[in-house]
Structure formats: C-alpha cells, structure tokens
Structure 1
Amino acid sequence: MPFFAVAQQTEKPVPADTSRVKKTKAPAKEEENRNVMLNAASNTGPREVNIGLPSNVGGITILENDMPVVHFFWPELPTTSWRQSNSLGKVGLLKLGEVAITQGDLGYAVNSYARKGTAKTELLGSLSTNQFGWLKGDITLSGPLKNNWFYTAGVYENFDPSTYDMKFARYVDKTQIYRAGLTKLFNNNKGEVSLFYKYSSSASLTNYSVFRYQEGGVAQELSNFRIGRDSYFLNSGTIRFKDILTGEYMDKNLGSDATSSTHTIDLVGNYALNDSWKLNFNARYHATKATLFYAIPLGTVSQSSADNFTYSDGSRYTGDVQSVMGMYSPNVPTHTLMSRVEIVKKTDKHNWRIGLTESYYNVNKFTSNRSFYYQEVAANPAQLYRSGATDGSNTDDAGFYNYNIAGEYHNGYENKVAAFFSDDWTVSDKLTVTYGLNLKYNKVKGDYYEQQRSPGIVLGDLQTTNFDKNYFNKAFDINAVYKITPKFGLLAEAMYTEQSGRLENYSGALDPMVRVSKSPYGSFGIYLNSDKFSLVSAVNYLTRDNVQTRLNLVNPTNSSQAQAATVYYGIRTIGWTTDIVTSPFKNFDLHYLITLQDPVYRNYTFSAFGNDYNYNGKSVLEISKVLMEIDPSYTMNKWRFWASLRSYSQQFANLTNVLYFKSRWETFAGAAFALNKHYDFGLTVVNPLNQRGAKGTISGAELITDPSPYYNSILTGSYIRPFTIEATVNFKF
C-alpha cells in the first residue's frame, strides 16, 4: 500500500497569527502559524505538518463538523469528498493534544465546519485558473427562510490537468462536490440544529517522474523527460487486471475508471441546558463507492536485444525499460455511522468537557487487484512486451504478467466507542493547565484469505478465514503554561496515545498478528511575548512502536521480481522547534519556524528473497533533519503581498539510507487586492524559482546497499510542482 499524504488548495494561505502565545488563559487548542493551505506537490488537500514521523504513521486527519471525514483513509481518501471551499465556514489546525483527547489519535488535524444559513441572503464565490488550464469554480448561497429557518447550498467544481499532458485523459483531478443544508434556531435562543447533505464525485491520479540519479542526491533531468512537465503514465492509460475473486480479466483505463462517489448526511446542533451547561451533538451517515487506481513504477534496467523486448507491433526495443505495478480497487462499498455528543461547563477557573464518540464502519469485500507490465523510459511511454525470460517475467498476449502478486482482500466491520474528558484549568494567575483523557473500545470483525498471493491466484475459489478482535486503547494529554513574568514563561506537555488493529491490517496473506502501537510524547520549552515579537521554543521527544507496513519489494539482483512483506517496526524522534512571529515595522509581519530533529527506525527487521534485513538505527524515509519556514507579508492600502519559503534538508529515499535527495526549497509567493466590498483578486505563484528535482522515495530501491551502481542510473520518484501561476477572483454579495 502506498503512503498516504494529502494536499490542499494554494490560493488562500493561512496567515501567521501574532496572538498565538498571548492567549494565556489556557493553552490554545489550534496551531496558528502553519500555512497548511500551501502544498508543493498538489492542490487537492492540506499538506502534512511534520512531527518527525512519516505521513502514514503520524499524519494529518481531516475533520468536518468535529468528525473525521472518513473513518479510515484506505480505500477512501479524504480528498474524494472534502476540499477547502466557500461551503466551509471555518478551517483550522488542531494541535496534537486536542487530537489525542477528542480522537485518540497521533498527529495534527485540519478541522472544518460546514457553512450554515445566514440571517441575510449571501452569495460567496470564487473562480480560479492557471497557465496549464486549471479551472475551479466554488460558489455558496445562504439566507433566511421563515420561522427561524435558514438555508445554505454550495457547488464546488475542480478540473485540473496538472502541469503535464496525458494522452488518454484531459484532467488529472476531476472533482465535483454539491452541498445543501437547513438550520433551525430554537425559539428560546438556547441553541440550534442543522442538517447537511453532501454529494461528491472525484477522480485523481498520481504521476511520477523519471530522472538520472547522480552522486550527492541530485536528480538530473533526462533529455527526453521533463520533471513535472511530462507524463509517465502509459500512453494508452489502459491496464489489464485479473479479478482476484472471480478470475475474470478486465481492461481498465486510468482516465475513466478511477472515480469515487460519496453521499454524506450530517446532523449538527447545540443546546444550552442552563446558564453554565451546554450540549453539543453531531451525527453522520456516510456511504461511498471508493475506487483506488494507481500505476506505480518499480525498477528501471538497461536492456539489450537479448532480453526480447518489443513494441505491440513486434518491432524490437533495446533502450531502458521501466517495470510498473498496476493497482486497482473498484467501487468498494463502504458505510459509516458516526456520532459525537459532549457537554461543556464553564466556571471562573474551569472549562469542563465530557463526551462520547462512536464510529461504525463497514467494508463490503475490499479487493486490490494487481498486475505488472513494462514500458519504455520516455514521456507518455509506450507499452513493451517480453518473451524468452526464464524467471516468470514474460508478458502475456496483452502485455501483462504476475497478475495479483501482492493482491489484497478484506471484508467486515469496525466499531469504535470512546469516552473523553478535558478541562482547561486556570490554577492561578501564573499557571494554566489543560488536561484530558480518551478511552476507546475498538472491535474489528470480518474475514480474509490466508493464502500466499501466487501469480494468477483467484481467491474466490478458496476458503476465507474469520477474525474477531477486541481492543481497548488509551490516550491522554496534559499541557501547562507557567508565567514567570507577564511576558515570559514556561511550556510543558506530556501526551500518550495507542492505536490498535484495523480491517486494513488483514488485506495481505497470513494472520497479521496485530499489536497495539504505543506513542509517548513529551515537550518542554519557553515562550516570550512583546508588542512586536513573540517566540516559542521547545524540545520534543516522541516514540512509536509496532507500526505495521506492507512493503512492495523489488529484488535488488533482478528488478523483474517483486514480493510483498508485512513488517512491524518502531520510530524514535527527538526534536527542537523554535517559532517566531514579529512585526518589526508598520504593516509588515514575519513568521519564522526552525526544527532540528533526528527520527530513526527501531526494531525494523524482515526477510525477503531469501535474505534477512535489519534497518535499526536508519534514518526515517522522507523526513528532513532540519526544517525551516519563512513567511513574510506586507499590507499596503488595498494590497497584501506575501511569500512562504520552506527549506528541507537532505531526505533519505530508500530504507538502507544509501540513496537520498539533496536539500531543497519549496517556495510560494502571492499578492491580493481588495477592489471593494464585493470583489477581491489573488495571485499565487507556486515554485517561483522553478526548481526542478525529485523527492519522496525511489521506487524499487528499498533493499539496495551499494549506491554506486545507481549513480548515473535511471530511477523514478515523486517531485515538487514546477513554476505555476494561479489567479483567483473572489466575490461576495
């Protein structure tokens, strides 16, 4: 399974908030100074906020109306039914402690709330485009009805060709989201209730880049392939699969068979029980037909005519060859019922909160069909056929081989019931403490196939194995601020979370022997406030054990051989973060953030291709040890000018740490102009320095130990977006 990372739109960056550390009544529940709306890889969702862990271990959860957008991101990515839009009244970033208390999870969370009906009729809209033909329309209408009833309706349409041209489809991301809602205010003014409906249809593809890897972590462009500007998808876009349950062959096209659709109904409300007690309640029904469709490059090898590679017309091919894995999960039905109920009470010294959450999640026969094929190394590559090999890597008449090696299946349900408690306690004029606890019962029940995924396997002919697991997970957080002087003080936090098994753990062969993953976290630091300067500096320590992953491995001695391996491992990271917000002169603001960290693997051992591997002490993939963010902005009359610069030090690109990408900058800049109260205009430049290069992991290189054969070799990976200018007009009536 590939790692999950989400990305968000770029036209409305979150500005730095100089008041963050001045809210001393209690530690803030939201992280103020992070531009989560700016993503260098995509414009479809929020970027990851680094905590020293990979995104699939401690990434960002997306919440809407205080509930997760999806119960679990596999097989339904949150961005299939959630995008930053005018139909959302508020978007923020919840801190680690708040996520631990309310969700029992590790990581930050983007929290958003559906826009409710308004007392006066309002029309909010925006239109966006760029030089590559991106078109996005986003409009919301809200207003009053009668008898304290109000309405809202919204349409979001995104048609994004990205920065490269595919031969089989126009758009890389095609997403439509339609919303409608009704709000009723109670006659006694003690509360309100809202009913929201949302329908979404979304199809997104993930492109890769091919490049020549040079010593020093340099990704050098090929003469026939521009990083970020050329497509590395098979030029036909069509991949043949063998249904892992029925054995039927099916030809699926990346341009027309990658759509997921969802229906969501939310009930949201609050009611004042008396002068000091308040009830908040949320409920959701979410149904989806989720589709996952990927073409993942594995290894590249230089071939000769003796390897018998040909084009479809039979003509000989003797250049570089790319092996690719196709992965297809078609229209997986999932159903989710969620609820959250809490009562809050405020006093002079306390802000109490007691709540319950439940999430029932049913998956009806998730399958991930796999097939492998070859393509030439070029922009919009042609498919290649192979014969004469003795290792089982010959293609069939359609040009594919090794159907359903590493194929996946699971079926069943999860049910999570949790109770949580928190209190914001003003102990004295100098000391404030927030503390909380989450206790969660998690049941996982269903069936899976224990059989190894041999080439061409048909699971539907075999017997399933049932499983029924029960877990009890704990999470807590305590966060304190102590004011030594009115402008200077100490910060401290202790947090602990546990995560247990999921249905997804049973996708592979054999019993996964799920273990509870435990994550203790500690932080200690200082803060300093003045009229024009605020600083927070803290040292952090975080570990997580029993992280399960499934590796899609390539034999380092034969790139045509692939194997899946289930691995449990741990991670330890130590970091020091300093966050500064300053306004040195009128109309100018500057945010600066620097993080020094050292994340490493622990207990990372497994066997593959007859060999044992041990990666204990190796640096964690894709995580830089030095991070910087610089966010200046200047306001002048009706204009606002801003920039966002992020520096990432060297990142390791394979598990043995012998391959890496050199340090890089991700840069953004923009301007906004408020014409009048009805119109404003925005311009965002992504990658204004037009840096070229790759990032992420190097496909198919997980096991190699000697980097020298890879120098000047052709490899594949992900990349940052090339120079892009995005223009937006916003209107309000």
Structure 2
Amino acid sequence: MNKKLLVLLLGASGCFTMSVRAQDKKNTADTVKVKPAKSSNKEEQNRNVMLNAANNTGPREVNIGLPSSVGGITILENNMPVVHFFWPELPTSSWRQSVSLGQTGLLKLGEVAITQGALGFAVNSYSRAGSDKTEVFGTLSSNQFGWLKGDLSVSGKISDGWYYTAGVYENFDPSTYDLGFAKYVDKTQIYRAGISKHFKKGEVNLLYKHTKSASLTNYSIFNYQEGGNAEELANFRIGRDSYFINSGMLRFKDVLTGDYKNVSLADDAYTTTNTIDITGNYQVSDRWKLNFNARYHGAKATQLYTIPLATLSQAANDQFTYANGSKYTGDVQSVLGMHSPNVPTQTAMARVDLVNKTARHNWRVGLTESYYNVDKFTSNRTFYYQEVGPNPAQLFRNTPGGGASNTDAAGFYYYNVGSEYHDGYENKLAAFFSDDWTVSDRLSVTYGLNLRYHKINGNYSTQDRTDGVVLGNYPTTPLNHDWFHTSLDVNAVYKITPKFGLIAELLYTEKNGQLESYSGAVVPNLAKTKMPYGSFGLYLNGDKFSLVSSVNYLTQNNNLTRLNLVNPANSSQATSTTVYYGIKTIGWTTDVVTTPFKNFSLHYLITLQNPIYQNYTFGAFGNNYDYNGKNVLGISKTLMEIDPSYTMNKFRFWASLRYYSKQFANLTNVLYFKSRWETFAGTTYKINKNFDFGVTVVNPLNQRGASGTISGAELITDPSSYYNTILNGSYIRPFTVEGTLNFHF
C-alpha cells in the first residue's frame, strides 16, 4: 500500500487555481474574509484553507490536478518546513493554527518552487513575537460533540530592547462519534516560549516549542449503488459511528527483533517533538536587509493506523467466531494495522536571505539547508478481522485450508506482510534567487531560480516482506545517492489598460527520491521526476468586480505507487506490485470577487480540468495492464467554490460551499463516487473591543457521501458485482455546530 496516501489526513481536496484566498491574517479559522483577486503577489488571496471538511486538525489540500500523494500541501513555520518529510511525522503532529502564530498565509506555486524547490501550495506561518505593549490573545472553542480547544498567547516587554512571548494550545476532540475505548480522537498539546532582543538595525528571536499529539482516522461503511451512490446502512451512521475495533487493542510483531507487543490505539499513538528556532533580521545598509532562520527539531514520531481492506461476504464454509468461541454469521471486514513506534528523528534547518529594494526591482538571494536523520524507521504490519457494523468486535478465523489467512490465538495474521524499514540521513543544500521586476508601467515580471544539492545515505533491507518476517535476522544493504536539482519560475503581468491585462507563468521543478523510497524490499526507480507547469490568462479589476481566468497545463513523470491487487478472475488470489507512472492535467480556472452592494461580497471560483494517467503499465496474474489515458483516481474534473459574506453592524454572516464532481474509485474507471458538496456557514459578533464570538456550522445540509478508492477493485471491468455491496471509505464530517470565543487585551 502507498503510505503516502495518508497525507489525506491533512484534509479534503480543494481546487486547481491561479488565484486563491489566504487564511485571514487573524487567528480565527472560522472567518472567510474575501479580498480582491490579485495576480502578482507571493501569497494567494482568495481561499481559506483552514476550513477542512474532513477534520479540524489542519489545513485541507489545495488540489493542483495531482493526487495528494504526489502533489499536496506543505506547511511552513518561520519560513522553514515544519517537518523535513511528512513520513513518519505528519506536520499536524507539531503544528496547528494558533493565536501564537502572528500571521498565516498561503504561498503561491511560484514562491514555493523558488524557496523550497517543490511543487504545490504551502501554508506559511510566523510565530508571534513580543512588543512594547503587553498583549493577550486567546480562543476557546467547543461543539455539540464535546470538542474542547483552548488557545492562549501572552507577549510583552521585559526591559529596553528585550521582549518575551509564551503560548499554550490544548485540543481535546472526540470527533463526531464514540470511540468506545477512548474519549478523544485527537489529543494535541503545544507549549511555546520565546525571548527577543531588538537592536538599532535588527532583532534576534529565540523560540522553543514542545508538542505532544495523537490522532486517529475513522472510516465508514456504506452500501455502494449504481451511479456512484454511497447509501447509508440501517445500522451504521456515516460519520456518527466508529469503525475501529471495539477493544482498541492491536498485536504487532517487531519487524527488527521479532518481539510481539500489544498496542493501544488510545495510548500508543503519541508523537512528541521539541523545536528550537532562532530567527531575526539585520539592516546591513540602507538598501540591503538580511533575514535569517535556523531550527533544531527532534521528534519521536509514531504512526498508528487501521485501514479497512476488503469486505467479505461470509461463505458457508467460513469459520468466524468471537473471542469467546461463539459462532459469528454475517459480513466480515479485513483490516490492516500499521505501527511505527517512537521513531527517533533529528532535523537541523536554516534559511538566510538578503533582500534589496530599488525603484524597479525587489532582489532576493538566499541559502537553505536541511539535514535530516532517522534512526531505524520501521513500519510494523498486522492484519485482523472484525464485524461489519458500529464499534465492531474482533473476529477469529480457523478455516480448514485457510492457511496463512487464519488468525493466531490472539486473533491476528500476516504479521509484517508489507512492512517497511530504512535507516540513514538526508541533506538538502540549496541556493535561490528571485526578483520582482517592474519592467515598465505596463509590464511586471517575477522570476526566480532554485539550485539544490540533495544527498541520501543509509541502509535498507532487500528481504521479502513475507508473513512473520524479522528483518533483523538479515543483513542490510547500503545506499548512497547524490543529485542536483533545478527549480525555476517566471510570472508576468501585462497591463493592457489600467484595469485589464494578461497573466502568464512558466514553472519547473524536479526531484529524484527520498530516503523513504527505500522502505520496501524493492530497489526503487530513482530516475528524475520532472514537473513542468504553464499558465496563461487574463485579469480584470473593476470597482465592484475582479476576475482572474487562466488555462493551466501540468505534467509529472515517475510517480511511485504500491498496489495491492486482487485477481478479477479469482478473488482468492492477491499480489502486491510497484508501479511508476506519469500524470498530465489541463485545467481552466476562473476566480471572481465581487461586491455588488455595500457590506456584501461574493467569491466564486470554478475549475474544469482533465487529469489523466500516462505510462501507467504493469504486469500481474500473468496479464499486462495498460491504463494510459485513464482518469486519475480521487480527482474531480469540475470544482467550484462559492463564498458569500455580509456585514451588518457588529455581525458578519458568511458561507462557503465547495462542489466536487464525480471521482473515480478504481483504475479501470468503471467504479466512481458521485458528485458532492462540502458546505460551511457561520456568523461572528463583535461584543466589544476585547471580545468577539463566532459560530461555525460544518455541513449544514448534513450531506452524506464517500470518497477515496475501493479496495480490491483496481482491475475489475464489470462494475455490477459491486452494486448493492457493502464497501468502506472516507467521508465528510456530519452536521456540526462549533462555537468560538476570541479575546484580545
């Protein structure tokens, strides 16, 4: 299984667009303030990525026509990535939207390519620093399901030139269902402290952050119908019932030592981190300014997931029982458990840049460095069976002739099939340059270049990941690679009239692989992945109407995925295979902001796109499969966002509606999920200069639906066998009312 798909925890897919809205510079994530459409700044202006229909732990994905596994969203803090690589430590384990962050925005594709050498959008955030005035920022949030979030930041002056800042973030979220074995689905604690020294020509900030976080991801079961409908079952409410094993206990076999361990979903999913940042700036001369950022980040990263696989209709000769030995009759769910226990990682990062502003230029030249060490990353695997229903009980199987698919005395099987291991370090050293050049009164050009040296060194195991394998019993194989990568961006705006003009952008990034690429037993294909992107369009800015419309083209080759395949001619046969493939997408995006009358604004965005696979071929079960030209899984061809907002006295009313057309759920494209809406609405009330109160309604229409892929169906060409069948998938949160009290003194 391609574990990169787990980046979906960061949120649901968004839109492919050239002009999108940044998170408001406030820290109230329930606001949707619309700003005029722009085309030449470094931050997107017209989308709030913190409105997440999947959960409230982090930003949603902003889709650019690629699956989130190969082109997702990056989270930056103080101009540096929160994590060097999102596996095994997800960014949301050590970062949350908080009042301790003085500013949060969404960086454009070009800015990310120039400064990070990566493809995709990035959420950028900056720690709040002290000032001459003592300030207290706070937020208290809750909902009808018992969610509690407290967020507090205090900053002020110590003495002349010296300042302090401190913050506490506590999140206790039971989500919208009852786990049974634990009260909270997400428990996250973040503690911050910092001290600043201001000089005549600059400042230095020393910042410390400690985090402890554990999150679980629920799934839902539903009856799949012709036409892509996910029909709710009579005994299982989508988003309101838990599909976790009711004991909350899993049994793993350590892939390095062979020791067995019982693991609690409630208590053993925590990641802990410690981060020290040194940030600041220095005015070198009247024209030159130096900005610098450095970080040490240490983590004990834990990943603990359960992923439902195939739903089995119990045959007459199956022998499933409960733990007490009593017979079970009914549908059965097979489940994969994954556990990476307290993997030690160490990261040292730095960024320094010099900026120089003149009448027609805004020069910038800089260096970035990121050293990352992971000490014996492992991902242990286990499989088990459970009931198909809410809070399912574990099932045991002892079928004559069942072989390895029978469970052991503890109720588990296939220990460490598909397990992972690697050990070593990565180093990325890059130089970048950019210039915002006002060529004339009509033409402005932003261009930049990133040159990066990337080295990985370590060891991995080529041992097959068979049932019960212990990799510690076999020698490892060394790995050592060096690459040189180039990223560049050119973005031009030409004014035909003062309010109307043309926009164009050319962007190129490239990469080879990560240390993580060696997690499996197969030697990875580390050929260079090239990602060219082009966009051309127009903009129109009126007194009450702004529009940006562009046609976009993007390709990406040599993407890696690991497929778990079931033989369509014999469902008892299964295999795993590694596939390298490309993606091409063409899109047309139009982004409109209008204020037709006083106190009312409307943002509307529509994207039409056609992402398809290229060079997607592989062999399995004695056959060759070719999916060139097939639609990319999980990506809609039509996306819309509608964001109205109205202010009246001390009240502000807003809504956000997102439309996703149907998404294909298997490689042959005969299975799909129908189109859906994700909706939000809310109001804020300014109580006085110190307090305001907000209410956010998630999914006010209480939409039901599913997304993702359908396990075991990758190769089928006749969809009828899946109609009226119980399947599983991800979902949007059910109707939820969230209240937030914000205060500032």
Same fold (TM over 0.5): yes
Alignment partner of 1:34: what SS?
coil
In 2: Cα distance, 1:552 partner to 1:269 partner: 49
In the alignment, structure 1 residue 287 sits paired with structure 2 residue 304: no
Which residue of the other structure, out of 381, 402, 415, is the alignment partner of 1:390? 402
Q: Is the 8 A contact 1:528 1:536 kept in 2?
A: yes
* 8 Å contact kept, 1:13–1:36: no
C-alpha distance in 2 between matches for 1:476 and 1:508: 32
8 A contact 1:11–1:683 mirrored in 2:
no
Q: Deviations over 1:301-344 (max 9, x none)?
A: 11134111111111111200111011100000000000001001
Partner residue, 1:574: 586
**2:18 maps to which residue?**
none
- How many Å apart are 1:667 and its aligned residue? 0.3
Q: 2:340 aligns with which of 306, 317, 329?
A: 329
Supply the distance in 2 between the matched residues of 1:2 and 1:610 (Cα, whole angstroms): 28
Corresponding residue to 2:561 among 542, 549, 552:
549
Q: What is the CA-CA distance between 1:2 and the residue it aligns to?
A: 4.7
One of 417, 422, 425 as aligned partner of 1:410: 422
Q: Is the 8 A contact 1:329 1:366 kept in 2?
A: yes
Q: Which residue of 2 aligns with 1:41?
A: 54
**Offset from partner CA, 1:137-164 (integer Å, 9 cap, x none):** 0000000001210000000000000001
CA distance in 2, matches of 1:20, 1:342: 29
Letter in 1 for 2:101: L
Match of 1:82?
95
Counterpart amino acid of 2:319? N
Residues 469, 574 of structure 1: alpha-carbon distance in 2 compared, 3 angstrom cutoff? same
Partners in 2 of 1:555 and 1:245 — Cα distance?
31
Aligned partners of 1:703 and 1:369: how far apart in 2? 27
Are the structure 2 counterparts of residues 296 and 608 from structure 1 closer, same or farther at C-alpha, using a change threshold of 3 Å? farther
The Cα shift of 1:609 comes to 4.3
**In 2: Cα distance, 1:191 partner to 1:573 partner:** 46
> In structure 2, do the counterparts of structure 1 residues 652 and 129 end up closer, same or farther at CA, with 3 Å as the change threshold?
same
Aligned pairs for 1:11-410 within 5 A: 12-13=29-30, 15-21=32-38, 27-186=40-199, 188=200, 190-387=201-398, 388-410=400-422
In 2: Cα distance, 1:181 partner to 1:554 partner:
54
Distance change (3 Å), C-alpha of 1:459 and 1:525: same
2:529 match: 517
* 1:528 paired residue number: 540
- Residue 443 of structure 1 corresponds to 455
Say which is worse superposed, 78-87 or 2-11, in terms of deviation: 2-11
Residue 57 of structure 1 aligns to a residue whose secondary structure is coil
2-side partners of 1:170 and 1:94: how far apart?
36
Q: CA deviation at 1:538?
A: 0.2
Aligned residues of 1:393 and 1:561 also touching (Cα < 8 A): no
Task: Please list the CA deviations of residues 619-641 of structure 1 after superposition, one character each: whole Å capped at 9, or x if unmatched.
Answer: 11111000000000000111000
State the alpha-carbon separation in 1 of the partners of residues 404 and 617 from structure 2.
Answer: 28
Q: Structure 2: which amino acid aligns with 1:129?
A: S
CA RMSD of aligned residues (A): 1.4
Greater shift, 380-389 or 589-598, is seen at 380-389
Contact 1:18 1:534 in 2 (8 A): no
Q: Which moved more, 1:11-20 or 1:452-461?
A: 11-20
Letter aligned with residue 242 of structure 2:
S
1:464 aligned residue (468, 476, 495): 476
1:714–1:173 Cα change, 3 Å: same
Shift of residue 394, structure 1, vs aligned partner: 0.7
Structure 2 stretches lacking a partner, 5+ long: 13-22
Aligned equivalent of 1:652, options 664, 673, 679:
664
CA displacement 1:170-207 (0-9 Å, x = unmatched): 10000000000111100x2x111101000000000010
* Counterpart position of 1:602: 614
Return the offset for 1:14.
Answer: 5.5
SS of alignment partner, residue 413 of structure 2: coil
Distance 2:341 2:572 in 1: 26
SS of 1:230's equivalent? coil
Shift of 1:697: 1.9
- Aligned position for 1:707: 719
Structure 2 residue 443 is the aligned partner of structure 1 residue 426: no
In structure 2, what is the Cα distance between the partners aligned to 1:161 and 1:93? 29
TM-score, normalisation: structure 2: 0.96
**8 Å contact 2:246–2:391 — kept in the other structure?**
yes
**Cα distance in 2 between the residues matched to 1:485 and 1:447:** 60
Q: Distance in 2 between matches of 1:257 and 1:391?
A: 31
Q: 1:383-403: CA deviations, max 9, x gaps?
A: 111112435211111111111
Say which is worse superposed, 69-78 or 386-395, in terms of deviation: 386-395
Instruction: State the partner residue of 1:452.
Output: 464
Alignment of 1:627-646 (within 5 A): 627-646=639-658
Code of the residue aligned with 2:283 in structure 1: it is A
Conserved in 1, the CA contact under 8 Å of 2:30 and 2:694? no
Q: Aligned pair in 2 of structure 1 residues 76, 558: CA closer, same or farther (>3 Å)?
A: farther
Note closer, same or farther for the CA distance 1:469–1:432 as it changes in structure 2 (3 Å cut). same
Mapping of 1:682-693 within 5 angstroms? 682-693=694-705
- How far did residue 558 of structure 1 move? 6.1
Matched residues in 1 for 2:99 and 2:33: separation? 21
Unaligned stretches of 5+ in structure 1?
Answer: none
Q: Secondary structure at the match of 2:48?
A: coil
Shift in Å, 1:513:
2.5
Contact map agreement 1:304 1:318 (CA 8 A) in 2: no
Question: How many Å separate the matches in 2 of 1:502 and 1:205?
Answer: 26
Spell out, residue by residue over 1:209-238, the C-alpha distance to the aligned partner (whole angstroms, 9 max, x if none): 111100000001111111000000000011
Distance 2:576 2:583 in 1: 21
Tell me how far apart the structure 2 counterparts of residues 504 and 72 of structure 1 sit (CA, whole Å).
9
Residue type matched to 2:29 in 1?
K
In structure 2, the residue matched to 1:720 is 732
Relative distance call for 1:562 and 1:128 in structure 2 (3 A) is farther
Change in 2 beyond 3 A, CA 1:434/1:592: same
Q: Structure 1-normalised TM-score?
A: 0.97
Structure 1 559/254 Cα, relative in aligned 2: closer, same or farther at 3 Å?
farther
Q: Compute the displacement of 1:560 (Å).
A: 6.5
Sort the Cα spacing of 1:408 and 1:608 in 2 relative to 1 into closer, same or farther, 3 A. farther
Give the distance between the partners of 1:725 and 1:554, measured in 2 at CA: 42
- Give the structure 1 partner of residue 16 of structure 2: none
What is the DSSP-based 3-state SS (H/G/I as helix, E as strand, rest coil) of the residue aligned with 2:70?
helix
Q: C-alpha offsets along residues 6-36 of structure 1, whole Å, 9 cap, x if unaligned?
A: 1499962453443342x7xxx1111000120
Q: Confirm or deny: 8 A CA contact 1:309 1:384 kept in the other structure.
A: yes
Contact 1:638 1:674 in 2 (8 A): yes
Is the 8 Å Cα contact of residues 14 and 34 (structure 1) preserved in structure 2? no
What is the CA distance between 1:478 and its match in structure 2? 0.1
Q: Distance in 1 between matches of 2:565 and 2:393?
A: 24
Whichever residue aligns with residue 515 of structure 2, its letter is: L
Residue 555 of structure 1, CA deviation: 4.7
How many pairs align? Answer: 727
Give the secondary structure class of the aligned counterpart of 2:379: strand
| Equivalent position of 2:20 in the other structure | none
